[in-house]
Structure 1
Amino acid sequence: MRLRSILLAVGLLLSLASLAVAQTTVIPQYTVVPVVLDMGLSSSNAMVGQTFTSHCASANCGGFPAGTTFVGQVTSVTRAFRDIPGQISVRFTQAILPDGTPLSIDGTLTSLHANDVTTNPNTGFLAATSSGRSNRNKFIAYGAGAGLLIGALTHGNALIGALIGGAAGYLYGAATAGRAPGNVNVPAGTQFGIVMQQPVNFRYAAGAGPAYYGPYGQYNQYGMGGYNQYGTGGYVIPSGAGPSAIQIYYDGIQPFVTSSGTVMIPFRQTMQQANIPFSVSGHPATIKVYMPDGRQVTQIIGSNVANVNGQNVVLSAPSQMVNGALFEPADFISLVTGRDVNWNSSSGVVILQ
């Protein structure tokens, strides 16, 4: 009887521990996540559609786990011209949890100035004020020295917003009297806020380790949460190794061709159907592909450089996030699969030979 009681108590404790590990989190609308930019941006060379990452290293990440990476996309760029300052508009479309789980988000830019954020007494998280909720906020240059402000430029050239490291709200024309404005330069390490324009719901198991994606779904470094074709969560050998071609079919998303002629291919579905595992982790967000021959390929999301066992390989185009999906240039897919890549634009099928 005593042994049975002990076993029941142990079972209860294990159940409670399990619940504590995997919890459902609901992040309210207009929650602000303080983040740090991972890579610099400049209106002198930024391109619409360019992706970049930032991460939250704070103890208070608005309900997201510390270390979450946020993927942003440049939505418009204004080069400095005459009395018009350089400007960059951005939107945040994805959060990547520390275990590699991707979440779709609708995030906008805000400063962390007291005019733009406050503390939600119910959650303890930062929340956007009415001015901080604006979806018109952008990175804007001020002064001939191309300083940095987060805010909006009105039709009358009145610049309303918060200087990074300065006070909020002043007239752009008065600050730049007699001097031409410059391009805005946002260096890596810049701190700002991301406003969640919509609530976010997710489950997260703290301490599960980075997520690995095999052909049958997701599993982490301890082999939990999924399985591969051997049922172990270990290394997966591509079934198409050798002369047999692998045909990749895409559901919901399709390859596309960039303006420079590079074919961009959906990464996740390609790797899963080719039976090649990969992981997503780190700051900035980095993918790691485990090649069939035992080599490892790493790449920072948004970069055009891949690293193969310590040696850099320059690709035809950088990887990019499009509507929450990661696309890689065809030469990257060829590199990690060891095969030629052929895309039939009529059928949408990619053939790895």
Structure 2
Amino acid sequence: MQKTNNLGSIKRLQREYAAFLKSPPPDMTIYLIESSVYECHFSFKGPSETDFAEGIYHGKFIFPYDYPKNPPEVYFFTPNGRFAINTKICLSITSFHPETWTPVWSISSMLEAIRAFMLTPAAGAVGGLESHSDVKKEFAKKSQYYTCPVCGANHQELKKIFLLENDKKNLTENIEHQLKINTSSTEVTSKLSNYDKTEYKLENVEKDHKIIIEKENNNNQQQDIIKEENDIITQNEINNECKEELLTKIENDEINKETKEKEEEINQEDDVLTILKKRQEAEKEKIKHFLENKEEIKEETERNEKYTVINETINIIFYLSIFLIILMVLNLLKIKIIMYFLN
């Protein structure tokens, strides 16, 4: 059944894309497709401490034209040992189960759910697979070298980005932990006596010195990471601006397409009306011509009838004359015969 684009679903998708790109969940990303706002590719890192931990898995959402009223279709492109590739996946958040779908789901929450479903058994579901642990690990390693021919997702580059984000997170946690340690040390020192304070400080000078050195190293590392992150953020901002322009262009193209289709329909209706009008005028001309020539046709018909009667009369006279001539000839012959026998 042919469906038409829904401006409400387009705006909902644009909001979700913008929210995701502005604040993406950890180890996840999406790729917009220029040809259709209803298609979106995704890549995410496998669940940690599992057979999928080293993998980066790529797939796509196909959203219905009435989204978020109905759920999307989900496909995978990278072999993973849990889901079949290039096949619609049966999950409670996909088009196989509209009865369990709710519009509160978003792209980020759906990706979190899909990643969680990777750890569940297939149980005979459509698109589900059961594989050995070694197979899943092998697929996970190979998935790091995948490049999507449609959206251009490069998992080698994406792996570096995910590692950089995790390093930043770990560094932040370490700094917070060191600050907590320093705060605890200060509280303990304030409660000790002057003698205990001096002894405590002497014992911890070396430790504090090591902590300072570690902080300086961490700060240097953090500055390097921040610099790399700023480069990535700058690139992401450029990409976001391009994507926003692309979204605007897609929306304008969709509106222009609808307007063009409506104009074509109106033109087609005008063409039909013009044809009907021409046919009506032609019929009127025929009727007018028929009425004008009706008397002439009647006279010509009467004339033809007279000619027919005259012709028939002439034919009758002609045949009668021939008949009389024949009778006369026969009578003469008869008289001659009789005269011959009398003589």
Structure number with greater CO (CA < 8 Å, separation at least 6) is: 1
Same fold (TM over 0.5): no
Q: Please state which structure has a larger fraction of its residues in helix.
A: 2
Larger Rg: 2
> Structure 1-normalised TM-score?
0.22
Q: Please state which structure has a larger fraction of its residues in strand.
A: 1
